[in-house]
Amino acid sequence: MIELGSRRTPPYDDTGVKTSISDLKDKMAKLQDTVDHMDVSDEIKNDILTLQQKVQALEDTADGGSTGATDQQIQSMKADVDSFGRVLDAHVKDTTKHVSSEDRTKWDGMSDRVTTSETNLKNHIANAKPHVSDSERLKWNQAATDATQLQKDLQTTNLSLQDVIGVQNFSQKYALTDAEGMRKRLASADSIFTAPPGFYYGTGWNQLPLPGDASWYYLDILPAPNGLRKLVLTRSYDNTSWIGVIHTDNVFRGWRQLFTQNDFMALTWYNLQLVNGENAAVITTQDTRC
């Protein structure tokens, strides 16, 4: 690396030595630039600094006059350079002291993440809401045990909502009355022979036993399969009732008036009066009580 040149009596020809020192100085500068971009230990950095100082001292010696650099200085410098080269080469080959780009990226900012995690942990510990006391823990553990036992009891008794509905249904799917349980108003223009099932009230229907009667009536309509239909009609002001049916042939069988015991006794007495000739009135089959 360093050309010693020929040794003569002063003044010496140190041109080769100065050239070698200049080259050595350039190499040290490149070496410094390379090490600046490497993950090296402080020991390596100090060795480079020492070599730079020796190169500078060697350069100062070569420029100091006719005496030039001594063989001992040059040999010492060469040995130092060789030694550092071996140390640096061993350091570069030591993978334990170096990390890959992926590892460096992973560890960059790790300190900030650790600090953030530590802060979050402290905040969590300081927050009493996410924590429970021993008594609360016992209470919830017991609740879990009770819930498990309740589930076993339900499975044992085999009681489910669907089973209860399947055995007995307490709901009425078809509303025979309004939401308040009252009879529904059936318009006078509606036909009581085709109206939907239900309990109604109204007046002026065309199908009444006495056409044109403007009295208030109660009407119960209960159909059956195959077109069957039963109608119970009650006049409100005198509590007179009729029953009518529609058979499977869709033919209305007419109204039949219902009689109470008092009605029957009154009619019997009336007929007896006719037989005894005490009343000249004529009873016909058109009488609404017949």
Residue 25 pLDDT grade (very low, low, confident, very high; cuts 50, 70, 90): confident
pLDDT, tens only, 103-136:
667 677 677 777 787 787 777 777 767 677 788 8
Residue 100 pLDDT grade (very low, low, confident, very high; cuts 50, 70, 90): low
pLDDT, tens only, 219-240:
999 999 998 999 999 999 999 9
pLDDT of 47 reads 74
Give mean pLDDT, residues 58-72.
61
- Position 179 in a domain: no
* 138 and 81 belong to one structural domain: no
pLDDT of 2 over the 50 cut? no
* 242 and 188 belong to one structural domain: yes
* 21 and 93 belong to one structural domain: yes
More confident residue, 219 or 86: 219
- Which of these ranges, 25-29, 145-149, 269-273, 275-279, has the smallest mean pLDDT? 275-279
- Position 117 in a domain: no
Whole-model pTM: value is: 0.37
% of the chain exceeding 70 in pLDDT: 57
Give mean pLDDT, residues 250-273.
78
> Of 42, 73, 97, which residue constitutes the final position of a domain?
97
- Position 271 in a domain: yes
- Total domain count for the chain? 4
- Position 104 in a domain: no
pLDDT of 215 reads 94
- Position 275 in a domain: yes
pLDDT of 255 reads 95
pLDDT of 167 over the 90 cut? no
pLDDT of 20 over the 50 cut? yes
* 250 and 273 belong to one structural domain: no
- Position 6 in a domain: no
> Of 171, 197, 220, which residue constitutes the final position of a domain?
171
Give mean pLDDT, residues 182-194.
94
- Position 115 in a domain: no
More confident residue, 220 or 166: 220
Give mean pLDDT, residues 280-287.
42
Residue 270 pLDDT grade (very low, low, confident, very high; cuts 50, 70, 90): low
Q: Please state, rounded to an integer, the average pLDDT across all residues of the chain.
A: 74
pLDDT of 99 over the 70 cut? no
Bridge partners for 217 per DSSP: 202, 235
- Position 125 in a domain: no
Domain containing 148 equals 132-171
Give mean pLDDT, residues 11-28.
67
Give mean pLDDT, residues 70-84.
66
* 215 and 282 belong to one structural domain: no
